[in-house]
Amino acid sequence: MRKLIALAFLGLLLYGAYELFLFKPSVEGHESLAALPRKKEVTLRVRNPDRAQKLRVVLLQDGKEFVLFEGKPAEEVKVKVEPKKLGLKEGKAEAVIELTRLFVLKDRVSVESVVDYTPPRVTLLFYPYAVINGGSGAVKVSVSEPSRLELRVVDRVFPFYALNERVFFSLFAVPLELDELSVKVVAVDGVGNASVLSVPVKLKKRRYPVYYIDLKKRKQKLLVKLSTLLGEEVTEENFLEAFKKVNEEMRRENEAFLSELGRRSEPRLYWKGRFLQMRNSKVISVFGEKRVYTYGGKYVSESYHWGYDLASVKNAPVEAANDGKVVFTGFLGIYGNTVVLDHGYGLTSVYAHLSDFKVKKGDEVKKGQIIGFTDETGLAFGDHLHFGVMVHGYPVNPIEWWDGRWIKNAILPALQAKEER
């Protein structure tokens, strides 16, 4: 009998230890109650929720209690927090999370909270009157409190850079094809209050050419090009398949690589004044051109031309279009031997189909400095320079960046900290 009691006692002890320590329920995620905007959803994760009888989440302010959640906990508890609706004032509050276990024990976690309903106030200091599709633009704003800022242009997101603690600017790239332009500044303060400001920029619709290219006429040269690019023999039989692979897959990879370089642009200003267009060159192809490839009248593939093709003499010297830093030199698929310059604050330029480079990654270059020589490496026909400009990794029409007056009117006012309108 005594043995039995001892055994029962031991059992109870073990059970107690098991309940108390091993499978003790607990709550994670309470830190997110420290910042309380007008409206928010908080996800609390409960460990061993079946060991707890009750979860209670309340806000305390001026001796009043506001219940956010009360009930049996699950592994994940989503709590809708609407302090304004509940009647809390802006200022300090306390969030208390209480977990009842073993029917009587109450574990409490308390978090000091800041209640703030005021969204950041954004003031537009500069924006362009109009932009073209495929073109660039700049926006300058001031913000009433420290906030996360971004510029949304249609479905694209562009970062803002600080000119001082209150004034920020952003360069943006307008898609080539769009029905309606929308430019919005989104600001989110430290607590999570957001404000969205529409920027009234007009769209000046620009038409870009479409060319139909018959691959049959270029087959002999293409067989050699495609074999080189793919590193495997391309014959009459797999010609179209190989062309699609290069024009679609390889192009996509190469463009993604360039975009990534563009997104990593440094937050500093390298460039000054207008960008240089290649000396004594003839434009043989423009930015935004749509190329539709056919074979014997049948559609094969298509692509967009994200730069200008400029031809001069054979192996002509290629100059840096502006001051910048070399962020890439190397062979890049359809672009052949390529140099990419970072001009800072999201602006980069691309020089493709070169024979050789005169610079290396990490070099800082000056406007007009020779960085390489033209050729027809990659998917190019005839010796020329492919010149491209990107804003935050999106290709834009270089024609604007070659135009000193456009830069002066559309970009420079955004780069100056002075708060003029």
Q: Give me the least distance between CB of 379 and Zn ion, in Å please.
A: 9
Footprint on residues 6-65 left by Zn ion (CB under 5 A): none
Q: Which two tokens stand for residue 224?
A: 């050699």
Q: How far is CA 26 from the centre of its chain?
A: 37
- By Cβ distance, which residue is nearest to Zn ion? 386
Q: Tell me: does residue 383 bind Zn ion (CB under 5 A).
A: no
Q: Which is nearer to Zn ion, 119 or 395 (CB)?
A: 395
Q: Which neighbouring-strand residues pair with 311?
A: 282
Per CB under 5 A, the list member of 38, 140, 386, 392 interacting with Zn ion is 386
Give dist(CA 182, CA 178) in Å, integer. Answer: 10
Cβ 287 to Zn ion shortest distance, Å: 9
**Closest distance to Zn ion from the beta carbon of 204 (Å):** 24
Nearer to Zn ion, 140 or 386 (CB): 386
Q: Decide whether 344 or 398 has the Cβ nearer to Zn ion.
A: 398
Nearer to Zn ion, 341 or 407 (CB): 341
Binding footprint of Zn ion, residue count (CB under 5 A): 2
Q: In this structure, are residues 341 and 370 in contact, taking their beta carbons and an 8 Å threshold?
A: no
CB of 380 to Zn ion, least distance (A): 7
Handedness of CA 326, 137, 178, 153 (dihedral sign): positive
Nearest C-alpha neighbor of 147 from the set 117, 115, 192: 192
Residue whose CB is less far from Zn ion, 325 or 386? 386
Catalogue the E-assigned strands of 39-191.
40-47, 52-61, 64-71, 76-81, 91-101, 105-115, 122-126, 130-132, 136-143, 147-153, 156-159, 161-162, 167-173, 183-189
**Minimal distance, residue 185 CB to Zn ion, in Å:** 34
Strand partners, 340: 328, 350
Residue 359 C-beta: closest distance to Zn ion, Å: 21
Contact 208, 134 (CB under 8 A): yes
Identify which of residues 386 and 392 has a Cβ nearer to Zn ion in the complex. Answer: 386
Which is closer to Zn ion, CB of 66 or CB of 306?
Answer: 306
**Which of the stretches 109-117, 190-198, 323-331, 380-388 binds Zn ion when contact is defined by CB under 5 A?**
380-388
Looking only at the bridges linking them, the beta strands covering 317-319 and 308-311 are unpaired
- Edge-to-edge order in the sheet of strand 105-115: 35-36, 105-115, 91-101, 52-61, 64-71
Task: Name the minimum Å distance from CB 315 to Zn ion.
Answer: 17
Beta carbons within 10 angstroms of residue 228's beta carbon? 14
Q: Which is nearer to Zn ion, 384 or 392 (CB)?
A: 384
Q: In the range 294-323, which residues lie near Zn ion by CB under 5 A?
A: 309
Taking the complex as a whole, the smallest distance from the CB of residue 283 to Zn ion amounts, in Å, to: 11
Q: Following DSSP, what letter does each residue of 210-273 receive, concatenated?
A: EEEEEGGGGHHHHHHHHHHHHTS---TTTHHHHHHIIIIIIHHHHHHHHHHHHHT--SS----S
Residues near Zn ion, by CB under 5 A: 309, 386
